[in-house]
Amino acid sequence: MSNNATIKLEEITNLEAMSLIGSEDKNLKVLSECFGKKISFRDNVFTIQDCDDVIREQIHQVIYALFEVAKRNRNVTEQDVIYACRLVSKSEKVDFDELSSVVIGRTLTGKAIAPKTRGQLRFVRAMEDLPVVFAIGPAGTGKTFLAVIKAVSALKKGDVKRIVLTRPAVEAGESLGFLPGDMKEKVDPYLTPLYDALHDMLGVEQTDKLIEKGVIEIAPLAFMRGRTLDDSFVILDEAQNTTPSQMKMFLTRLGFNSHMVITGDVTQIDLKYGTKSGLTDAAELLTGIGEIGILHLTSDDVVRHPLVQKIIERYSERT
């Protein structure tokens, strides 16, 4: 027999309660949706309607994990709620301390950037430990953003002398000559996600200055041929749209004291039908090489709007 259950938080401040519940009760609504139970909060007490002991214990674990986040003066996000619910539903421990303890970098306003999921944490640690890292996963898992943040942090620390950002311009068939403008203007439309992360870390003005000086280089993948990239942090984005020969060409550009991060989503391959993706080919071929990390992120690592995860999972079910 089920009935209403309560969970009381002792000594919670008003600010902590606001963070925990969310603006306009958004976090509370997400929590209710995750468990399919109507949950209310008043006078430091959560009330869960029509709730058995098992569900109450799961909600209890989620609430206390999120409370620990709020106590550290960090805003609890809807994604935090969803991620905690996912872990609890799999009988896994919810530990945001492990995630928040790893600060990758800081935005222009000083906000600390830390991994939001265990998959992202593995990706960040791989970038710290290995010269070549593949991050394969769906949209919204933070692959590109985290790679650029890591690159900018390495540049600021003096670990590398420049950042090289590239991606295959599949939509233009790697033939960009017909487009107006200089190389930067031709490639820019394909690199918006990379610019977004750069602007978060450096601001528009500083980003433009570093590009002008050549400290940050933007180039289509075809322009990597014949080069050796020393003292560089090199990011290949949208790598699912490379061919195996293009991927081999790119990987063999690795120079001394350099790092390479290759990101891509194998569910969004735009190559001609029958052409094998260089990303899937490399992931298969290079598995087992100790200096190369191959990370697979999943819908559990999506940090965009909660609906994005549902969309990804529904498409995955069909395939």
Domains, the chain, in order of start with CATH, read 3-100 (3.30.1370.10), 106-318 (3.40.50.300)
pTM: 0.82
- In sequence order, what DSSP letters do the residues of 52-84 get, joined into one string? -HHHHHHHHHHHHHHHHHHHTT-PPPHHHHHHH
d(CA 242, CA 278): 5
Q: Pick the more confident residue, 171 or 249.
A: 249
Point out the least confidently predicted range of 37-51, 53-67, 174-188: 174-188
Q: Pick the more confident residue, 110 or 62.
A: 62
pLDDT value at residue 119: 93
Please write the tens of the pLDDT for every residue from 73-115.
Answer: 788 888 889 889 888 988 888 888 888 778 898 888 888 888 8
Asked if pLDDT for residue 152 goes beyond 80, the answer is yes
Structure tokens at 283: 């992931």
Which helix H or strand E contains 90, and what residues bound it? none
Q: Is the dihedral of CA 19, 22, 27, 32 positive or negative?
A: positive
Cα–Cα nearest to 79, from 141, 154, 125: 141
Asked if pLDDT for residue 174 goes beyond 70, the answer is no
Rg (C-alpha) for the chain, rounded Å, is 22
pLDDT value at residue 109: 85
Average model confidence (pLDDT) across the chain: 87
Give the whole-number percent of the chain exceeding pLDDT 90.
49
